Amino acid sequence: MTNVPVHLDDYLVQNDAYASRSFPFDEWEWLRANDPVHWTDAAGVEKFWAITRHRHITEISARPDVFSSEKGNILLFPEGQEDGNDDPDNAFNQMRVIIMMDPPDHREFRKVASGFFTPRGITRLDEIVTETARLTMDRLAEHGDQPVDFVEMVAQRHPLRVLCTILGVPEEEEDHLLQLTSQLFAFDDPDVGRPGEDREAASAALAMEFFTMFNTIIEDRRANPRDDLATLLATATLENGEPMGLIETLGYYLIVFNAGHDTTRHSISGAMGAFLDFPDEFARLKADRSLMKTAVEEVVRYTAPVNYMKRTALSDYELGGVTIAEGDRLCMFYGAANRDEEVFDDPNRFDVGRNPNRHLGFGWAEHYCLGAHLAKASIAALLEQMVDRIDSIEPAGERDFVAASFVHGFKHLPVKVNWA
């Protein structure tokens, strides 16, 4: 075993480490080779097993009977708050969302919206993503060859409009929603979060704001049904014929929006970052559009914006020769699995033609991303616009990263666009 990298445990999860150095690729490489099921003791965070090999992540994900998403949540808690908090004034604590349910409930609630998210389910999807991508690029084009922040101008705008369209959020509420979701996921980030504030009080206030906004839409769709996801959720019934409860309906809105926005945004800005680092790959995609499908999968593999998901062991389990004890937490690092040398040739290379590409960017098995098809269509629509309209891209300043280790990516990405 070579020497243990310095600050290994802190670099795996601490938000400020992600702000200053982004994903811990070197540490993951070391862990895959030396300690793929690694007991992690980072300052200020509950202790957990860090899982970095592809085959261990698929093994865990396929056993929701042993590794629960419900029992201990899917996010790491601060040290000392391992059991979460039970503040009854915080609406997040009342909420039930599918990503934090185990079977059989998980399967029943997932079915409510799963039909909508299939390739045939999202009517007008192509129209929505293509039109949104075109308008987003039109706005970018107004800046000509002036340096712009690609995150602000493109990456965060495109998924925001797509999700607001399917969820029925009016355009004038978009900025408010963007601000709420940034605060929720990047709480410690000095620019977009609310660092220094009482986390509990801020989270309760955020929950109220989300719920007020979504509840207005739910009431409207119950009175005036339309052909959209908002109506499907507002009027959903469960297997027993009963309407889905308000807590679950609101939870669905929240999870669809929050699971869909920052993830897609970071994958789009990550794609731009990858093209800046591998300019030949942009030229290659421009020259051969038949690579679009593999390019989109490669964007998700390479960027892996959902950095980890946590599970809690419901019983003792032997994983890769290590005994996981009942009650232990485990974090599956998707970006580490996506660069696993056992599965991917030359894993650190961004290759728009990569095939096969068994990446885990959308998770695996029971909780496999419900929005994967929508995410891929959104990314593809934007890449189509980019390769159609852009000749080449240049960096135009320092990039930086959000102070968040759960869903992670660029905070700013200054670029100069040379239009075709």
Residues that bind ligand HEM (CB under 6 A): 61, 69, 74, 98-99, 110, 255-256, 259-260, 263-264, 267, 300, 305-306, 309, 334, 361-363, 367, 369-371, 374-375
The residue (of 137 and 331) whose beta carbon lies closer to ligand HEM is 331
Task: From residue 12, give the alpha-carbon distance in Å to each of 183, 236, 244, 349.
Answer: 22, 40, 38, 22
The residue (of 76 and 202) whose beta carbon lies closer to ligand HEM is 76
For the CB of residue 266, give the shortest distance to ligand HEM in the complex, in Å.
7
The residue (of 140 and 300) whose beta carbon lies closer to ligand HEM is 300
The residue (of 8 and 258) whose beta carbon lies closer to ligand HEM is 258
The residue (of 204 and 236) whose beta carbon lies closer to ligand HEM is 236
For the CB of residue 231, give the shortest distance to ligand HEM in the complex, in Å.
16
The residue (of 30 and 116) whose beta carbon lies closer to ligand HEM is 116
Let me know how long the chain is: 420
For the CB of residue 9, give the shortest distance to ligand HEM in the complex, in Å.
22
For the CB of residue 90, give the shortest distance to ligand HEM in the complex, in Å.
21
Q: Is 207 in contact with 92 (CB distance < 8 Å)?
A: yes
Q: Which long-range contacts (CB under 8 A, 24 or more apart) does 209-216 make?
A: 209/176, 209/180, 210/180, 210/250, 210/253, 210/254, 211/91, 211/250, 213/169, 213/173, 213/176, 213/177, 214/167, 214/250, 214/253, 214/254, 215/246, 215/250
The residue (of 330 and 396) whose beta carbon lies closer to ligand HEM is 330
For the CB of residue 378, give the shortest distance to ligand HEM in the complex, in Å.
7
Tokens found for residue 77:
């808690």
For the CB of residue 103, give the shortest distance to ligand HEM in the complex, in Å.
10
Nearest residue to ligand HEM on Cβ basis? 371
For the CB of residue 20, give the shortest distance to ligand HEM in the complex, in Å.
23
Task: From residue 170, give the alpha-carbon distance in Å to each of 82, 217, 287, 291, 316.
Answer: 38, 9, 38, 35, 49
| Cβ neighbours around 107 below 10 Å, total | 15
For the CB of residue 16, give the shortest distance to ligand HEM in the complex, in Å.
23
d(CA 69, CA 254): 17
Q: Is 300 in contact with 362 (CB distance < 8 Å)?
A: yes
Contacts of 371 (CB under 8 A, 6+ apart): 117, 256, 259, 260
CA nearest neighbour of 308 among 86, 43, 71, 73: 73
The residue (of 192 and 300) whose beta carbon lies closer to ligand HEM is 300
The residue (of 106 and 194) whose beta carbon lies closer to ligand HEM is 106
For the CB of residue 291, give the shortest distance to ligand HEM in the complex, in Å.
18
Beta bridge partners of 313: 67
The residue (of 113 and 202) whose beta carbon lies closer to ligand HEM is 113
For the CB of residue 242, give the shortest distance to ligand HEM in the complex, in Å.
21
For the CB of residue 55, give the shortest distance to ligand HEM in the complex, in Å.
16
The residue (of 244 and 259) whose beta carbon lies closer to ligand HEM is 259
